[in-house]
Amino acid sequence: MGQDHPDSHLFPHATGAAAKMVQEHQQEAPLKLYAGWFCPFVQRVLLVLLEKKIPFQYIEVNPYHKPASLLSLNPRGLVPTLEYAGKPLYESTVVCEFLEDAYPAPMRLLPSDPYERARARIWIDFVTSRIIPAFHRFLQYQPKSEDDEGLSRVREEFLDKLRQFTEAMDPKGPFFLGEEVSLVDLGIAPWALRLWVFDHFKGGVRIPQGKIWERWERWLSAIESRESVVNTTSEKEHYVPIYKRYADDTAMSELAKATREGKGVP
């Protein structure tokens, strides 16, 4: 994708509680986060930074109009990119695990037991390799007619992934691993918090009734009330034009095409 993208105007800045958080992290700091306010992968990293109360400098960039400062750190020019003592790190799951290792205090976000730690990684991988692609297949599905069965199929496939994830949760909770929030929760939270976009575009997610879904709802309300989540979320209507690019074929843009080709997926 070209660096000077015509959709640049869609990517101004955060609003609401997230705008305040951005404002509070403008001061020069050794740890710099190159971020896009809308990006769920960035939100993963922000959640870890805020949960662990790690000082950092927030640098808003438009990854569709890549500044040289970003490209010099990350040749793909994706957000999130972290600058740590002048050195770059990217890929949200890698960055989150790095922060967990480099800043053990004041709280751990992965279990200390090696087996439990590995199991947590299995579910972080499940989110990245199964849930997020299913979210995008559903959002980008273009029904060919009013009663196109394909839409129900991609919805069901997405729900099935959420169900598998929920079945693996600690039954007591409220979080995935139990009482304490972990990288598993923070790794899926940005997409779970964006499920409302389907009410705008694809007739809703339509979470079914049932015991397992009660567990999902309990998890969702626990994660939604985390301060870190509240403080990294912009006002809903601010996200709508962003998601319209993916959901609505009439608005199909270079950006959506690039997403389908696997280059960058907000």
Ligand X SMILES: N[C@@H](CCC(=O)N[C@@H](CS)C(=O)NCC(=O)O)C(=O)O
The catalytic residues are: 39
Token pair 């740590």: residue: 84
241 binds ligand X (CB under 6 A): no
31 binds ligand X (CB under 6 A): no
Token pair 């869609």: residue: 10
Shortest spacing between CB 8 and ligand X, in angstroms: 12
263 binds ligand X (CB under 6 A): yes
DSSP E strand boundaries for 61-164: 81-84, 87-90
Residue of minimal Cβ distance to ligand X: 264
Choices 148-156, 233-241, 242-250, 258-266 (CB under 6 A): range interacting with ligand X: 258-266
Q: Which is nearer to ligand X, 151 or 234 (CB)?
A: 234
CA dihedral 218, 220, 226, 230 (to 10 degrees): -140
- Which of 33, 78, 124, 223 lies at the binding interface for ligand X (CB under 6 A)? 78
User: In Å, what is the CA distance from 116 to each residue of 60, 120, 123, 150, 224?
Assistant: 35, 6, 11, 38, 24
Choices 73-81, 156-164, 168-176, 187-195 (CB under 6 A): range interacting with ligand X: 73-81
Choices 34-42, 110-118, 135-143, 219-227 (CB under 6 A): range interacting with ligand X: 34-42
Shortest spacing between CB 62 and ligand X, in angstroms: 9
187 binds ligand X (CB under 6 A): no
- CA 88 to CA 142: how far, in whole Å? 38
- CB-CB neighbours of 245 under 10 Å: 19
β-bridge mates for residue 92, sequence order = none
Length of the chain, in residues: 266
Q: Which is nearer to ligand X, 72 or 221 (CB)?
A: 72
Shortest spacing between CB 67 and ligand X, in angstroms: 12
Would you say 194 and 240 are in contact if contact means Cβ atoms under 8 Å apart?
A: no
41 binds ligand X (CB under 6 A): yes
- CA 126 to CA 136: how far, in whole Å? 15
Interacting residues with ligand X between 79 and 108 (CB under 6 A): 79-80, 91-92
What would the two tokens of residue 138 be? Answer: 């559903």
Choices 150-158, 211-219, 241-249, 257-265 (CB under 6 A): range interacting with ligand X: 257-265
266 binds ligand X (CB under 6 A): yes
Q: How many CA atoms lie within 13 A of 84 on its CB side?
A: 13
Shortest spacing between CB 236 and ligand X, in angstroms: 17
63 binds ligand X (CB under 6 A): yes
* Total site size for ligand X, rule CB under 6 A: 17
174 binds ligand X (CB under 6 A): no
- CB-CB neighbours of 132 under 10 Å: 19
Candidates 58, 108, 97; CA nearest to 81 is: 58
265 binds ligand X (CB under 6 A): yes
What is the chain's alpha carbon radius of gyration, rounded to the nearest angstrom? 18
List residues near ligand X by CB under 6 A: 1, 36, 39, 41, 63-64, 77-80, 91-92, 258, 263-266
